[in-house]
Structure 1
Amino acid sequence: MTIIERAKAAKRASIRLAALDSATKDKALEAIAIRLEERKSEIIAANDKDYARSIEEKLDGPLLKRLRFDEEKLSGVIDGIRSLKKLADPVGQTKLATQLDNGLDLYRVSCPIGVIGIIFESRPDALVQISTLCLKSGNSVLLKGGSEAANTNRILADIIREASVEAGLPEGWIQLIETRSDVNEMFKLSDDIDLLIPRGSNAFVKYIMDNSNIPVLGHADGVCHIYLHEDADETKIEPIIVDAKTQYVAACNTVETLLVNESAAKRFLPIVKAALEAKQVELVGCEKTRAIIDIGEATEEDWSTEYVDYKLSIKVVSGLDEAIDHINTYGSSHTDAIITEDEEVARKFMALVDSANVFWNCSTRFSDGFRYGFGAEVGISTSKIHARGPVGLDGLMIYKYKLIGHGQTVNDFNSGKLTYKHTALGQNCPL
């Protein structure tokens, strides 16, 4: 099938998928979980091929880590599917109910967006998370994963398609795209694709926006920060920073820059250096930082770099205001945290840092759809339209207005025969 044919098939399927009942969708999710378990050895064998080829092609270490899809990761995505199955169906939820007049009731009701085109990195687990979120939310999906995971993506997409269609989903709701030329063609299909979600760099997101009329929900760089305020609890510094930097270094919510209040820098920096160098993290810093601890020199470029590697830049700042200004200047509006014991300082930080996720006294790694209780995520949006932060089921929904009347006409109101009441209704839409 051509990319145009795939998009049109997804569009046709989306109409039926949007109207499916919760039981059928949950049955399909369970069927997928079972089939993934049954074909575990085939999936791992396919991933072994991708991994071996990528080693030969000298793929970067962090990308290799993302590519690996072993038994532990497979078990994790299966658990995620069953967690997703337990969540309430997001389709058909009444978000607003207003009585315009007696017997004329208006409802705003959640419904699927339609067809989602998603371009993601070399993480096979992302394919499972994305497709099952789209299934639960009633959306068709076109998937383009990294070419380094081609074999793994292919078998996963086949398993999901076969299991879900057997369970009652419409054929064509999930489509796998494998070539770059198809991706470029996909950008032109605004009649069939309703939303694009790219998971990549700022440059990549901008390229799509410049080359497509389809709305884009951007998942850009993850240049995340932690700011150590002068009163930070020393017992919290090491565990939070070590977790944020090394728990999974290839993730987009890994901390890349540490900001330290100058009045406490001599106390805090040796703690940070010892803890991170024990984890083989390379440290670079500003002039003030290097006057206190012996590390490499940070350049201007470092402040806006997403390393996705065992590297961290450190800057000593005069205080809270400079920390906030630095984050809003160099950050990517992804996830930023403060370590402080002062609630007012934390409140100011969380109010003024312009990011999708702002944390107090905890690791940036918590910025995740599964950890937020969304079941999974299709990505973390750093844009300010429709959805922001981890995009789970709610982020894949839009709404429609349903008006239920009994023969009323606009002329009835214009003539004065009837008058608008606009009274809130405490009930769900009956249709």
Structure 2
Amino acid sequence: MTSAPIAPPSPLVTLAQQTRRQARQLATLPTDAKNLALEAIAQALEAAASSILAANEADCQAAKELGLASALYARLKLDDSKLKAAIAGVRDVAKLADPIGAVQIHRELDQGLELKRITCPLGVLGVIFEARPDAVMQISSLAIKSGNGVILKGGQEAVRSCEAIVKAIHAGLAQTEVAPAVVQLLTTRQETLELLKLDQYVDLIIPRGSNAFVRFVQQNTQIPVLGHAEGICHLYVDKAADIEQAISLTIDAKTQYPAACNAIETLLVHQAIASEFLLNAVGPLQQRNVELRGDDRTRDILNIAAATEADWVTEYSDLILAIKIVDSLEQAIDHINTYGSRHTEAIVTADSATAAAFLAQVDAAGVYHNCSTRFADGFRYGFGAEVGISTQKMPPRGPVGLEGLVTYKYQLVGAGHIAATYSGPAAKPFTHRDL
């Protein structure tokens, strides 16, 4: 009896196998080789700028015709300044210290028996994102610098832009020691579902998108997932806040880029300062087309729409701001810890003790004092770029740069040492001496 023929692997499995093989080679390259590859990518992106922008314009035009949500459209749009900033980010990653090969522990267990804990790449990343073509450049540069392969899956609305960018990345890598196959791009929804099943070849999934999208990924894969499901961020204006400073921070945190996950969605105001602050803030906010919604106490001061329970749990990603008046710092913290998404939270106050209590008690990846939540970003933190923001408790947390893309291994070198020597009645003691 003859056995049934073994079906050949699917094209995506073959692609993942190739990415994994090339990632193993990348992991062994010296820092200089990786940095030269990043510079080659930057130059290739600059050379292809007109093609990339034309592809993005085509994506944007198609998105308009399909009625893409304004927040997604803002993320999709890639103008000349945004492209130049992303290319600068590639070069910034090249300037960062190499995270691979760092010796975290070097310890003698006994004479001639030495232990090292050394950082190493994760392997292959699967990154799924909506709308943002600039993420391709950020993620690819971080993956290469950290010695990881990456399989990218952008949203359908950005497919032309992503293809143009990856084409340029491959052209740059072709001139270096880094194989172009370490950066792969998927383009269909079916490939997303198949990617989530590749636990044999993909070591980490990083989803970037809506709450529903991230939760879908988390529920449909056995691969570890790093990401945040939503960005419900708050700004608390304390009774000891400087009014002018609080207004400036509110405007920046809400309007500087409302589609960002680190923009505030809810404004909490201490009742002792509420009337003065709100009456001064309403004009500047409405001049910037911010739609205000408030609880009953806020509406006693301002003629605005009513906020409902749904507003406290909504990531608008738009020029909409919910306002609530609270009686105390404790009430503000309780509201944030109840409705926040553990992303980024901020307080405005001149009282250092109040600020310290807020920073200690608020449960979030980022807790800020007297500054805008918009600083929650890998580039602004000096990470060069980021692959995403993690709101989970376990590390990495917050903006994830190079340090979040490495793991470590224990290397033990001896000279014929056996475990039996260190057990039983005549057990030899370990020296456990740090070297």
- 1:111-190, aligned counterparts within 5 Å? 111-190=120-199
Q: State the one-letter code of the partner of 1:120.
A: F
How far apart are the structure 2 equivalents of 1:47 and 1:342? Answer: 47
Unpaired runs of 5+ residues, structure 2, are 1-9
| 2:233 is the counterpart of 1:219 | no
SS in 1 for 2:38: helix
TM-score (structure 1 length as normaliser): 0.96
1:423 matched residue in structure 2? 433
- 2:212 equivalent in structure 1: 203
Asked if residue 352 in structure 1 is aligned to residue 352 in structure 2, the reply is no
CA contact (8 A) 2:215 2:229 kept: no
The amino acid across from 1:419 in the alignment is P
Q: Could you list the per-position Cα deviations for residues 267-301 of structure 1 after superposition, in whole angstroms to 9, with x for gaps in the alignment?
A: 11112212211111000010000001111110110
- Give, as a single letter, the amino acid of the residue that structure 1 aligns with 2:22: A
What is the rounded CA distance, in whole Å, between the counterparts of 1:70 and 1:218 in structure 2? 26
Identity %: 48
Alpha-carbon deviation of 1:62? Answer: 2.1
Per-residue CA deviation, residues 19-53 of structure 1 (Å, 9 max, x unaligned), is: 11111110000001111111111111111111111
Give me the whole-angstrom Cα distance separating, in 2, the residues matched to 1:61 and 1:206.
Answer: 22
Partner of 2:243: 234
Query: Is the contact between residue 197 and residue 219 of structure 1 (CA under 8 Å) also seen in structure 2?
Result: no
Question: What CA distance in whole angstroms lies between the structure 2 residues aligned with 1:220 and 1:165?
Answer: 36
Tell me if the contact between 1:36 and 1:78 (Cα under 8 Å) persists in the aligned partners.
yes
Residue 304, structure 1, aligned to residue 313, structure 2: yes
SS of residue paired to 2:150: strand
Runs of 4+ in 1 over 4 A off after TM superposition: none
Please identify, of 401-410 and 143-152, the stretch whose mean Cα deviation from structure 2 is larger: 401-410
Residues 232 and 265 in structure 2, CA contact (< 8 A), matched pair in contact too: yes
1:288 maps onto 2:297 in alignment: yes
Q: Which amino acid aligns with 1:365?
A: R
Q: Kindly state the Cα deviation for residue 423 of structure 1 after the two structures are TM-superposed.
A: 2.2
Q: Which residue in 2 is equivalent to 1:323?
A: 332
Are positions 1:109 and 2:118 aligned together? yes
CA distance in 2, matches of 1:27, 1:286: 55
CA contact (8 A) 2:44 2:171 kept: no
In structure 1, give the amino acid aligned to 2:433: T
Distance 2:113 2:353 in 1: 48
SS of 2:92's partner is helix
> Please, what TM-score do these two structures have when normalized by structure 2?
0.95
Amino acid at match of 2:141: T
Taking only aligned residues, the RMSD between alpha carbons, in angstroms, comes to 1.2
Pick from 269, 273, 287 the counterpart of residue 282 of structure 2.
273
- For residue 81 of structure 1, the aligned residue among 87, 90, 93 is 90
Counterpart of 1:172 in 2: which secondary structure? Answer: helix
SS at structure 2 position matched to 1:166:
coil
Q: Residue by residue, what CA displacement relative to the aligned partner does 1:99-139 show, whole Å, maximum 9, x if unpaired?
A: 21222121111111001001112111111101111011010
C-alpha distance in 2, partners of 1:208/1:147? 17
Deviation at 1:220, TM superposition (A): 1.8
Mapping of residues 88-103 of structure 1, within 5 Å: 88-103=97-112
Moved more, 72-81 or 204-213: 204-213
1:189 shift after superposition: 0.9
